[in-house]
Structure 1
Amino acid sequence: SSIAYGLLVNLDFYKVLPTGYKTIMAGNVEYERGDILATVMLNIIGFFTVAFLTGYLAERTVKIEKELEEKKIDFKKLEEMNKYIVENINSGILTIDEDSRITSFNKAAEKITGYSLEEVYNQSIDAVFTDLMNEHGYSMNPLDEGPSYFRIDKVFKKKDGKELFLGFSVSPMKEGGHVIIFQDLTRLRDIEEQLKRGDRLKALGELAAGMAHEVRNPLASISGSAQVLKQSLSLSDEAQHLMDIITRETNRLNALITEFLLFAKPAVKMAKINLSDILNDTIGMFRNSPESKNIEIQVKLDDSLVINGDGGQLKQVFWNLFLNASHAMLDGGQLKIGGHCSHIKQPFDSNGAKVVVIDISDTGAGIPQDKIDKIFDPFFTTRDSGTGLGLAVVHRIIENHKGTIEIRSRQGEGTSFKIRLPMMKSED
């Protein structure tokens, strides 16, 4: 409207528009019919022009406001989605300011560390992850030369004292401060250690299997010769006693070699078996043996724990674990044995893998933490009279059944073993 009004004023100033009326101060006003008509028409056109422009501008303003509102809604949705992702991702995410004080802490970070946002907010990063920002000579000063990003894996102790193996990645933010993303790699490290141990034991087993056979042959000759001499000669009591020692020790060595060969090259004969039956048979044998003296046995087993496995070898596994528990409870204690079916979550598989889980725990002396990693190594033992093959055989048999075995132990509290074996599929 301002533009139209200015246009009319300019046209009138430069005498382009005809004069529609003349004003005489003394009195009469003279009108010309043609001038009046032209003036009316121009005013009508001007009003319509102004109305059109005003309507167009108003419509345009409403449209722009609507687009801005839609963009605000989109930005709000994007912000909410970003917040949802940060709060529900499995990786821990936290941010720190220029003074290394924590400014945000997502739910995964709370779950992994055991600390809540309220506990760590505005606290130094060292209160949660000691010396993290000092690794590899990293400097918090942006003026210092050095890497702007670094990654590190290190052991971290949770709020409850449990140790975890975490992987960290640290990056600077444009607004100042840093964002730290971390993941729990404990399970991954355990699997890696199991694979390394498996490769090491496989090589050792193949080497030792041949040696064991070479040792067994002369042992058989010694044992046989001693028995023949014992029966054919008139021996004094002392000589008779020495012959008995030779026979007994050769038999013990032969049993040791048999156990070692079971570790080195176990011949697995797979068949459909129910682990409940295998366990109950082994528990019955253990109850009636001297090793179960002063030990209270608690059993809780599901009825059907069907897998594809070697019943004889798995019975050996359970027997070795029961003996291990009894040796840890010389003054008596509790032995708990449980078995149930479960699922293991797997990537891209919502149903997961079906497994049979066997738990065997005791209230014995426990194992020192610095020896836990070696407990399944051959010839490693915490007892003076042990051969160091019992748990090595257990590990090897479970491994050959495509299963896993985990150990948890605290000195003075006891030891627990968790075995997972793949459950037989219904179509098998």
Structure 2
Amino acid sequence: MILVVVSTIFAMGLITFYQYIRIAEEYNNKRLERKEQLIIETFDYLISNRNTKPEEFKNKIGNKIYEISDINNIDINFYSLDGKYILGNKLPNPKTEFVPKEILKNLNVNNDRIEVINKLPNSDESFTSVYRYIYNNDYQPITIINFPFLHDEAFLRKDFYSLLYRYLVIMLIVLIVSGIFSWFFSLTLTRKIKEIAYRLRDTGALTHNRPILYNYIDEVSPLVKAYNIMLSKFREQTDALVKKEKDNAWQEMARQVAHEIKNPLTPMRLEIQSFQMRFNPNDPQIHEKLDSLTRSLIQQIDTIASIAGAFSDFAKMPVKKDEKLNVIEVAKISLEIFPSQQISLDTIDELVILNIDPNLLNRILTNLIKNAFQSIPEGRTPHIIVKIRQDIRMVYFSVIDNGNGIPEEIQTKIFTPQFSTKTSGSGLGLAIIKKLIEEYNGSITFHSVEGEGTIFKFEIPKSE
């Protein structure tokens, strides 16, 4: 708004300035016209009683030129028709001794008046020099009159400065008032926009977003209305997305459960069918065969129970019971169940504090170490290293093995539920580990070289 006011002031000042120039030009032209007419009429009167010849003009005028010059406050020069100085109220100088050739060339009966605008030496002021013929009673030119007319702009300039002063005072008052008004207006507008920005910043898919109550009709109201409409659509889309994700999750879980349960059910069915076809009550080994079938069925039932437990763990994580603890001590406890000559703990600091559930940390380390041992091929001595480091923000864990490694073509699927590199198990171990780590805003990665081994790395931020 202040920019608009300043632009308006500048535009009005520019218009006033050009208006002043136009008025000054009109004033000087009319003033020149009046003086010129008065002088010409005076000299016409002096030579009107008889038909004056050019050579008689100087004697006819005589000392009258001084009186006329003083009365009109203007210099007057007379020249012969060929441009030579004849008479003047002042002695001639090199510039006034002759009529300029260009003017003399263009001056004729049809063009008997020429104006030339010149600048005064060492000054910004200008003057108009008029050259024209003086005629006798026979309308024959007898001489060339010249008078330089100084543009008198003093009183106009004074009026202009006075007007400009009043104008600037008024504009300054307007500018101050508009500036104060703009400041209050922008303060109110900024406060409203900050409130909207605060709401926008806190808008999230999982948060309870409240519409903005705004009962005013001003520049901000369309923005508030658009935000509330967007919020309503956002809520509808969020609800639909959450419902779709839940449905997809249950469908995927159902498919995984069905797939994992179907795996042990198929051999159970085949074994029962085979036993039914070969069943002979009189067979002396009937008890041994029945005992073998029973053991096999129990083993498959245990597999189904294990699968069901694994899916239950994945779908429902245990309640965290976080506490500030030394992860080095937890790691030592996790390593105790494994052969000490095949696993080692690599640490620099004896005290690494982290706010975490000790049972969950133990579960993460135990699962990774178990996977490391299971990756060792027959005939190779296991060598497992658990490395722990820390900095100001994070605690870093590494589990390094010398196993078979993970084939490159399946590395992108390693954390996918139901995917497993082993012939047994539910394929949820690494998926559960990843989920546990992400519960603490951490991350897990790995690097594997097939035939040489794998390094699993995960990091968990320290609590504030």
**Bin for the TM-score computed over the shorter chain:** 0.3 to 0.5
Instruction: Give the helix-richer structure, 1 or 2.
Output: 2
| Greater radius of gyration (CA) | 2
TM (norm. structure 1) is 0.41
Instruction: Give the strand-richer structure, 1 or 2.
Output: 1
TM (norm. structure 2) is 0.38
